[in-house]
Amino acid sequence: MSRTTALLSVILATSAAVRGQPVSFRDPGLKAAIEARLHITNPQPADMLKLMYLIAPEKGISDLTGLQHAVNLATLNLSTNSISDLSPLKGLANLTRAYLSENAITDPSALAGCTKLQYLDFGSNQLTDITLWARP
């Protein structure tokens, strides 16, 4: 291997490490909605910081894995999908509006840390416990 080829290999490897790995999405519908909103393919965690709102009703989304990287997300509309697990939303402290009607949600407790939440639509779900929002 020539010195130039070796140097080029190091530069390319370093460049790939700086770029990082793309966010892992389990749901192709969620990935497509985020890529369309950000106007990029295979978003990386740094790209997800730019996601302020996501509007993706009726996309057949069932898994929110990957959305946990969108820590600046303020508005989320995932109505009329097939979502049951909200755990990827757990750390989204900037979330102010969430439209999650017509899904398969039974446990909303993952949203307990979303202290900026001002509007929440859980209509037509199968909630089993809403004590999270009980007022003393």
53 inside domain: yes
pLDDT at 136: 54
Which residue would you say has higher pLDDT here, 134 or 82? 82
Q: Read off the pLDDT of each residue in 81-90 and give the average, rounded to a whole number.
A: 97
Find out whether 97 and 75 touch, Cβ atoms under 8 Å.
Answer: yes
pLDDT at 22: 97
15 inside domain: no
10 inside domain: no
Checking if the pLDDT of 92 tops 70, the result is yes
| Spatial distance between the Cα atoms of 109 and 90, rounded to a whole number of angstroms | 8
Q: Read off the pLDDT of each residue in 107-135 and give the average, rounded to a whole number.
A: 86
110 inside domain: yes
Note the pLDDT tens digit of each residue in 93-115: 999 999 999 999 999 999 988 99
Note the pLDDT tens digit of each residue in 8-25: 444 444 444 446 899 999
14 inside domain: no
Number of domains making up the chain? 1
**pTM (two decimals):** 0.83
State the residue for tokens 């750390």.
Answer: 91
Query: Three-class SS string for the chain?
Result: CCHHHHHHHHHHHHHHHHHCCCCCCCCHHHHHHHHHHHCCCCCCHHHHCCCCEEECCCCCCCCCCCHHHCCCCCEEECCCCCCCCCHHHCCCCCCCEEECCCCCCCCCHHHHHCCCCCEEECCCCCCCCCHHHCCC
Q: Read off the pLDDT of each residue in 43-52 and give the average, rounded to a whole number.
A: 98
Q: Read off the pLDDT of each residue in 89-96 and give the average, rounded to a whole number.
A: 96
11 inside domain: no
pLDDT at 1: 55
13 inside domain: no
Domain with 79, as residue range(s), is: 22-133
Summary mean pLDDT of the chain:
88
CATH number for the domain that contains residue 88: 3.80.10.10
2 inside domain: no
